[in-house]
Structure 1
Amino acid sequence: MQLNYKTYGEGFPLVILHGLFGNLDNWQTLARQWAGHYRVILVDLRNHGRSPHADEMSYPLMAHDLAAFLEEQSVDRCHLLGHSMGGKVAMQTALTYPALVEKLIVVDMAPRQYGRGHDDVFAALHALDPASLEDRREADERMRPHMEDAGVRQFLLKNLARDNEEGFRWRMNLEVLHRDYDNLIAPVGTLGQHFPGQALFVRGGKSGYVHDEDWDGIQALFPLAELATVADAGHWIHAERPRELLSLIQAFLEKPATRKERRVPDEG
């Protein structure tokens, strides 16, 4: 699968993965700032943005997509950052292909099972027939009864693309995202897996995605993990508190890299 991507700057690669219903444009502002220090690579995950549509959606598949993409880009090692769903893709990649990841940054996501939290979003999206829309204002009006938050509506409507003929179409593969949603709220990692490198987990103080009780599960998979909280931020930390997030991540990336391999006990 040929994933869509965009690059900024030069140097050691920093790969950034967006969340559910998002695309690589969500991280462009911070990417431009990191471009003075790194080769920043923004990626559209399968069934999102301008990347190809596929008939299946799962974290092992997306991690495989990313590993193949990095090989195509001649990237044998990178810093890997993911937000929300992209955070789980980043975790799965670090656990499955640990040699590819120097340092891991996960923004407002834990590796555990989550409950269904997007049924209202799917209802709002299914309320639209993109091909019949005259403009984005009409789309916003049709979504409003299902989604009160204007900011969330505008975020979702970034997925609308003008069709060549008339009306609009979804860039994302809405049908597969909805059908395979249970795969997207599923946990990542299995018993015995671990990532030996350093990991930074950043949560929003006003977000409910990463709880104190998630810490043991995080450390079981990522024994060198650190946890930072941006007190005044919700789930979209990169949009709400970009300076604080930039500072936290930059300080983490500038630390000397270490790894902690688990020893396998000798037999006998």
Structure 2
Amino acid sequence: MTEHQGLTVNGVRLAYQVAGPAGGEPLLLLPALGETADDWAAVRDVLARDRRVYALDLRGHGRSERAGAYSLELMRDDVLGFLDAVGLDRVDLVGHSMGGVVAFLVAQHSPWRVVRLVLEDAPPPFPREPRAAVRPEGELAFDWAVVPALRSQLDRPDPSWLEGLSLITAPTLVVAGGPDSHVPQEALAELARRIPEARLTTIPVGHLVHAAAPAEFTEAVTAFLADVPDGEVARRWLAEDGITQTGPDAWYDADPPVGTLTGEDVCNGLGSMAFTDEGLDLAGRLRVALGLMDLLGGHPLVTWQIHSAHLGPEGPLPAEPLWGGYRRRLEAVREYPAIAESLWSDWFEVWQTAEEAFAEVLGNDRDRLEAGAPEPLLRRARRVLEVSGPVPWKAKAATYEAAVRVPELHPAVFGGLLAGYHDVYGQLEPEPALALLDRLDLPAGTEHRDALRRVLAAGHRNHHRSPEAWSGAWSEAMPSE
């Protein structure tokens, strides 16, 4: 049964529909320009089988108030105010066309409010050629004043919208309508590339995907929403202790003493507790720990616990959530400094785990390293090679050889060689390392290249075993560097 309700947000009366079990995970649907909550009827009931589904009439549309003032930013603020008014801290968000623009504006403005994001054939925030809008005859289900106000924004989008795509932390599904859609499909692909955790799927039925192919649309969306990200697992774990996010690096602790915490505070208080939670199995504890890294960044109390649990009495940790989790983050567009730092200090500098960790995050895939390899694999390779200095030479030599086949990885191979010489746990094999160095196509004047070549040619393996050798080589190489 679908209920029709209304409330006032930002001084504007908004109408909405709600369906599904009261205890279901919340899902908010935002319609296209000129459409209303009724537009979701073809898919609403399927989505509401086990979810609490809200469909909103945006200001100026349907049963919502004709507000007079219209912009995509005002609609974004209406959505955030709506979530506050109905008591939803976080929500899965689906937007079609203009509703998709509003959805990604919400997700970049307040990323902690969006669990997962679905953008259905939404106009990407790239300038486009303006087209004259002609008012249809007869009575409209929306205020015509919305059209010129929003079309002008869509034609000349604020540059911050494009820049803000990188701020979206929610896993995102971009649903494209294919060649029959008026939305440029190559621009949709670029939209997906610019959102850090986005994937693209095409259902080639034109712009009205959910109406033209409701079964295919709901299948794609429900499968996507069924995948709970590690960050959400960690949020739910924190919420059990009364800790919820209220802003960038701001967390509210409902337990006495009540107050606001930073991410550092949360890590200091709870970072070491994930692997002591007896209510979770080992895989569940690992997902919480990885999720804390996603939410809060690197912290020794989190990353060290993962490594310790792997070597501890209950270890080793399950391979797929552990190494699959590392690989996915190393391949992501989003930067995960904590992952690289953890690889270096927690795994590669410890002899018991260095070879296993290197093989799992890169070595086992070395045969796939070639020019034209998928960009996610090359991103992973680049990030791993740069921190691979402590890994024993015999464990990484073949992977270094493979990486040399890919010119764009040459700087990362050089970084690994240089780190291998300088890290206290590193040890190069001078002859093969020198041969490898001489095959790298590096920019002229690459800092420390000549000094590294001199110490390797002299047979030195590590800076800390012969510090005077590096000092001398660096001094001799200074004129050319």
| Pairwise TM-score range, normalised by the shorter structure | 0.7 to 0.9
The match for 1:32 among 13, 30, 45 is: 45
Residue identity matched to 2:91 = C
Residue identity matched to 1:91 = F
Percent pairwise identity = 31
| Partner SS, residue 49 of structure 1 | coil
Task: State the shift of 1:27 in Å.
Answer: 0.2
**Equivalent residue for 1:247?**
219
Residue identity matched to 1:96 = H
Q: Distance in 2 between matches of 1:217 and 1:106?
A: 10
**Equivalent residue for 2:193?**
219
2:72–2:150 CA contact under 8 A, matched in 1: no
The match for 2:17 among 6, 15, 32 is: 6
Task: Work out whether 1:65 is the aligned partner of 2:78.
Answer: yes
Task: State the shift of 1:210 in Å.
Answer: 4.2
Task: State the shift of 1:180 in Å.
Answer: 4.5
* Inter-CA distance 21–257: structure 2 relative to 1 (3 Å threshold): same
* Inter-CA distance 4–185: structure 2 relative to 1 (3 Å threshold): farther
Task: State the shift of 1:57 in Å.
Answer: 1.9
Q: Distance in 2 between matches of 1:118 and 1:48?
A: 22
Q: Distance in 2 between matches of 1:104 and 1:46?
A: 21
Task: Work out whether 1:74 is the aligned partner of 2:87.
Answer: yes
**Equivalent residue for 1:144?**
none
| Partner SS, residue 2 of structure 1 | strand
The match for 2:58 among 45, 67, 85 is: 45
Task: Work out whether 1:257 is the aligned partner of 2:225.
Answer: no
Unaligned runs of 5+ in 1: 131-159, 161-169
1:203–1:210 CA contact under 8 A, matched in 2: no
- The equivalences for 1:59-208 within 5 A come to 59-113=72-126, 115=128, 119=132, 122-125=133-136, 128=137, 130=138, 160=139, 170-187=140-157, 189-191=161-163, 193-205=166-178, 206-208=180-182
TM-score of the pair, normalised by structure 2: 0.43
| Partner SS, residue 91 of structure 1 | helix
**Equivalent residue for 2:469?**
none
Task: State the shift of 1:244 in Å.
Answer: 0.5
Task: State the shift of 1:186 in Å.
Answer: 4.1
Please list the CA deviations of residues 56-109 of structure 1 after superposition, one character each: whole Å capped at 9, or x if unmatched: 222211110000011000011110000000000001011111111100000011
| Larger strand fraction of residues | 1
| Partner SS, residue 28 of structure 2 | strand
2:75–2:102 CA contact under 8 A, matched in 1: yes
Q: Which moved more, 1:255-264 or 1:176-185?
A: 255-264
Q: Distance in 1 between matches of 2:68 and 2:135?
A: 22
TM-score of the pair, normalised by structure 1: 0.75
2:176–2:188 CA contact under 8 A, matched in 1: no
Q: Which is higher, the Rg of structure 1 or of structure 2?
A: 2
**Equivalent residue for 1:156?**
none
2:98–2:123 CA contact under 8 A, matched in 1: no
1:47–1:177 CA contact under 8 A, matched in 2: no
Please list the CA deviations of residues 187-211 of structure 1 after superposition, one character each: whole Å capped at 9, or x if unmatched: 3625365111100000112214142
| Larger helix fraction of residues | 2
Structure 1 vs Structure 2 CA RMSD: 2.4
Q: Distance in 2 between matches of 1:179 and 1:39?
A: 32
1:34–1:40 CA contact under 8 A, matched in 2: yes
Unaligned runs of 5+ in 2: 1-11, 232-293, 296-333, 338-481
Task: State the shift of 1:173 in Å.
Answer: 1.4
- The alignment covers a number of residue pairs equal to 221
Q: Distance in 2 between matches of 1:180 and 1:224?
A: 27
